[in-house]
Amino acid sequence: MRTIAFVLCIVALLLSGCQQYATLHDFGQLRKGMSVQQVRDLMQVEPTLTSNARIRPKGNDSLLRTYDVLGYPVPTTTKTSSSGAYGAGTTYTITDRVLVLFVNGKARYWGYPSDFFRSDEEDIVLAVHTVIASL
């Protein structure tokens, strides 16, 4: 009986350490001004995208600002195929990516890529557009 309980505990521990996706709860804990390391420590998974863009803000040709971007996968839906490439009865997860944008090493903005394009700040829009175009 002890052996079964021990094996079940080991399996539970292994499964709990296998999280593949960030959750919206994780993003709800982010705060503006957090460092890149603080965000990485807070998230339960490694980012699937790390990139940066060097942008000159409009109207200030002498300033070159670096924007760092981390991208985390988030599940949007789970489907079970009835046939096709995945095979009948195969369950797969469709994911999207949530981006975290850092200005001067501090978290400034996060959300789905389409959220960034609604920003009034042209340099943020340009930075994310530059990162996405490079994928």
Task: Say which residue the tokens 């070159």 belong to.
Answer: 64
E strand or H helix at 111: strand 106-111
pTM above 0.85, yes or no: no
Q: How many CB atoms lie within 10 A of CB 80?
A: 10
Q: Output 40-48 pairs: Cβ under 8 A, ≥24 positions apart.
A: 40/70, 43/72, 44/19, 45/19, 45/20, 45/21, 45/72, 45/73, 47/71, 47/72, 48/72, 48/73, 48/97
Domains, the chain, ranges and CATH?
22-133 (3.30.1450.10)
pLDDT single digits (tens) 4-20: 544 444 444 444 445 68
Q: What one-character-per-residue DSSP string does 31-74 give?
A: -TT-BHHHHHHHSSS--SEEEEEEE--TT-TT--EEEEEEEEEE
- Among positive and negative, which fits the CA dihedral 37, 42, 45, 48? negative
pLDDT single digits (tens) 76-128: 777 676 665 555 566 666 778 899 999 989 999 999 988 988 888 888 888 99
